Structures are given as structure tokens and as C-alpha cells.
């Protein structure tokens, strides 16, 4: 088995296997070797650290050059994927949306709202917005799991975490 490596990108053509954005030529990239395809899949350093922190640290140890502040990269990697997964909470971008659970408006703009998939019919799932306090009504998770997942998936500060726990 060939291990993962870090190297400067040889061209500007590779796309990150994590965030799908371009990796600039010369930028350090993390390569995860795929035995099946006998080739590397490339990632930005942060995206690679998010994929597999242990492999990433091993690749850093093998790399002859300077990758910068590894602890900072690992710390940043913890936030990769947050703000896109569901269920989560986020500030409402407008005051126009109605709650998928109770039908009332979610307002004012900027208030935390829930984003989650819910089953509208058998095997028919829809993504919707709700009041934070209405999330449990639509979610198929029990309260503790729902809170755990929201805290895991959301980019929120300590005060907002308290708010989520209090309202659900």
C-alpha cells in the first residue's frame, strides 16, 4: 500500500476531492493514494486534514519542506463541512420564509433558523426551514441526537449553542 503524500501541485488543473475547488499550481496539496485506481486523489491541506487527520499528520512527517502551522491546519479542518450538513441552524437570510412545521414566519432576519430534511410522505424527503424550537417536531431523531447533530453541523458561537439547547 502506498501512503498519502504532500507535495506542491504540479499544475493548476487538479480539483480538491473535498471542496471541489481548484488547487493552484505550486500550492501544497495532500494526496490520498487510491489502490483501486492506482493514482492519487488531491486535496487542499485543510480539506485533506479534515478527511483523515492521522494520514495527514503522517504525510506531514514524511514531507521534506515546510507545511506551516500544522496545529492551525488541524484546527481549521474541524470546521470543514460545517454550515452545509443538515440538520443545522443558521441565521435567517431574510424574514420571508415560513416555518415548515408551524407555518408561521421565521423572523426577524438574522434570527437562528433550523435547516433539515423531513419526510413529507413515505420515502419523500424535503429540505425545509423551521423555527429552532420547531425542529424536533419534523425531525426523525430524538431530542438528544438532534441537538448533538445540530451542534456538530452548525457554525455557531457558545451563546447560540445555549440557545439551541434551550429551545429544542
Q: Which listed residue (57, 74, 102, 111) binds Zn ion by CB under 5 A?
A: 102
- Rounded to whole angstroms, what are the CA distances from 126 to 97, 115, 168? 15, 10, 20
Are 116 and 130 within 8 A, CB to CB?
yes
Chosen residue from 28, 49, 51, 101 binding Zn ion by CB under 5 A: 101
Q: Radius of gyration over alpha carbons of the chain, in Å?
A: 20
Cβ nearer to Zn ion, comparing 98 with 123: 98
Q: Least CB distance from residue 101 to Zn ion, whole Å?
A: 5
C-alpha–C-alpha distance, residues 25 and 18, integer Å: 17
Q: Which helix (H) or strand (E) holds 55?
A: helix 53-62
For Zn ion, the closer CB: 99 or 164: 99
| Residue 111 interacting with Zn ion (CB under 5 A) | no
Q: Which stretch binds Zn ion (CB under 5 A): 70-78, 97-105, 107-115, 121-129?
A: 97-105
Q: Which listed residue (50, 60, 134, 138) binds Zn ion by CB under 5 A? A: 134
Q: Which stretch binds Zn ion (CB under 5 A): 26-34, 62-70, 127-135, 149-157?
A: 127-135
Question: What are the DSSP calls for 90-148, one per residue?
Answer: EE-S-S-PBPTTT--B--STTSEEEEEEEEEETTEEEEEEEEGGGHHHH-SS-HHHHHH
Given the rule CB under 5 A, which residues bind Zn ion? 16, 18-19, 44, 47, 99, 101-102, 131, 134
Amino acid at each position: 500500500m502506498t501512503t498519502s503524500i504532500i507535495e506542491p501541485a504540479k499544475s493548476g488543473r487538479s480539483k480538491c476531492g473535498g471542496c471541489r475547488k481548484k488547487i493552484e499550481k505550486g500550492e501544497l496539496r495532500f494526496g490520498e493514494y487510491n489502490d483501486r485506481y492506482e493514482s492519487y486523489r488531491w486535496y487542499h491541506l485543510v480539506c485533506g486534514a479534515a478527511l483523515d487527520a492521522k494520514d495527514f499528520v503522517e504525510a506531514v512527517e514524511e514531507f521534506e519542506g515546510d507545511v506551516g502551522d500544522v496545529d492551525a491546519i488541524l484546527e481549521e479542518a474541524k470546521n470543514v463541512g460545517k454550515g452545509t450538513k443538515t440538520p443545522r441552524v443558521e441565521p435567517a437570510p431574510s424574514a420571508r420564509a415560513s416555518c415548515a412545521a408551524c407555518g408561521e414566519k421565521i423572523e426577524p432576519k438574522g434570527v437562528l433558523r433550523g435547516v433539515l430534511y423531513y419526510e413529507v410522505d413515505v420515502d419523500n424527503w424535503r429540505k425545509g426551514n423551521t423555527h429552532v424550537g420547531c425542529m424536533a417536531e419534523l425531525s426523525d431523531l430524538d431530542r438528544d441526537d438532534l441537538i448533538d447533530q445540530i451542534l456538530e453541523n452548525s457554525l455557531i458561537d457558545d451563546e447560540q449553542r445555549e440557545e439551541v439547547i434551550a429551545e429544542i
